């Protein structure tokens, strides 16, 4: 299924609480350079824990009880809540310049220049680049762009996205998805993308893992799975997406 040699391989990953309650069970997948894999499934199915284990960022009380994670490139994470991921007391340009300074090992002056370039790349307005604005002075969509810039400042081989658009309204969701697609084409990072939204998974990810109760129940090409799901749970997930109602008489779906 993977055409290039994998840059991330997860084999038989199992996670449990300290009291041995199983949370993720025997999860395996791999990712090639520049590829995108979606993790979908109901709330509590283990998507975020699987993603966090790639970074070694498991929450307190959860431990890896089995399996191996092999990766020879760096990863960076984009979290669901953009405001929560930013320091409210530090101007955004300064936050970004700090990450560039420590991760790219350039001078203070150069780190600010790179930070401004990253904001430009993310399509943020000039006003935000010229004046030092705090996160509370930015919209949710602008904050999420800054958070993506923070992750890209680490020059990741793999971008780990944990429902990065869930907290945003649908028009901003679309802009963020388009921005991520553009940046992936420009920069060539691979991506693991956690989402509840099958349409977003279809737009971004060529490969899909469907998770239920800590296990992968279906894994393969995204379009094949969405058009011809084999697992009853996948079928249920697809059928639970509300169809747009049709305008009476017109036969046309709402636009």
Ligand X SMILES: Nc1ncnc2c1ncn2[C@@H]1O[C@H](COP(=O)(O)OP(=O)(O)OP(=O)(O)O)[C@@H](O)[C@H]1O
Residues that bind ligand X (CB under 6 A): 17, 23, 41, 43-49, 59, 61-62
Query: Measured from the CB atom, is 13 or 119 closer to ligand X?
Result: 13
Cα separation, 140 vs 172, whole angstroms? 9
Nearest distance in Å: CB 77, ligand X: 13
Nearest distance in Å: CB 113, ligand X: 37
Q: Length of the chain in residues, anyone? A: 255
Nearest distance in Å: CB 123, ligand X: 27
Query: Measured from the CB atom, is 49 or 159 closer to ligand X?
Result: 49
Contact 31, 161 (CB under 8 A): no
Phi then psi for 33, rounded to 5 degrees? -55, 130
Cα separation, 55 vs 69, whole angstroms? 10
Nearest distance in Å: CB 46, ligand X: 4
Query: Measured from the CB atom, is 20 or 127 closer to ligand X?
Result: 20
Phi then psi for 115, rounded to 5 degrees? -60, -45
Contact 71, 54 (CB under 8 A): yes
C-alpha distances (whole Å) from 45 to each of 11, 53, 99, 224 are 18, 14, 32, 22
Query: Measured from the CB atom, is 138 or 200 closer to ligand X?
Result: 200
Query: Measured from the CB atom, is 46 or 157 closer to ligand X?
Result: 46
Nearest distance in Å: CB 58, ligand X: 8
Cα separation, 130 vs 144, whole angstroms? 19
């Amino acid at each position: 299924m993977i055409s290039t040699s994998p840059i991330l391989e997860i084999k038989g990953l199992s996670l449990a609480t300290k009291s041995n309650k199983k949370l993720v069970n025997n999860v395996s997948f791999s990712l090639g350079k520049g590829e995108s894999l979606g993790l979908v499934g109901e709330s509590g199915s283990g998507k975020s824990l699987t993603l966090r284990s790639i970074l070694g960022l498991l929450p307190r009380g959860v431990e890896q009880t089995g399996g191996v994670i092999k990766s020879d490139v760096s990863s960076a994470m984009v979290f669901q809540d953009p405001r929560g991921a930013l320091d409210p007391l530090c101007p955004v340009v300064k936050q970004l310049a700090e990450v560039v300074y420590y991760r790219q090992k350039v001078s203070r002056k150069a780190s600010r220049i790179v930070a401004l370039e990253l904001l430009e790349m993310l399509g943020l307005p000039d006003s935000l680049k010229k004046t030092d604005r705090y996160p509370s002075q930015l919209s949710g969509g602008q904050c999420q762009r800054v958070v993506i810039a923070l992750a890209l400042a680490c020059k990741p081989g793999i971008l780990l996205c944990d429902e990065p658009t869930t907290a945003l309204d649908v028009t901003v969701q679309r802009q963020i998805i388009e921005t991520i697609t553009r940046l992936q084409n420009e920069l060539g990072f691979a991506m693991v993308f956690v989402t509840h939204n099958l349409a977003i998974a279809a737009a971004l990810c060529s490969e899909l893992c469907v998770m239920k109760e800590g296990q992968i129940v279906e894994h393969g090409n995204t379009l094949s799975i969405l058009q011809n799901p084999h697992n009853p749970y996948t079928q249920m997930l697809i059928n639970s997406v509300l169809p747009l109602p049709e305008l009476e008489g017109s036969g046309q779906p709402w636009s």
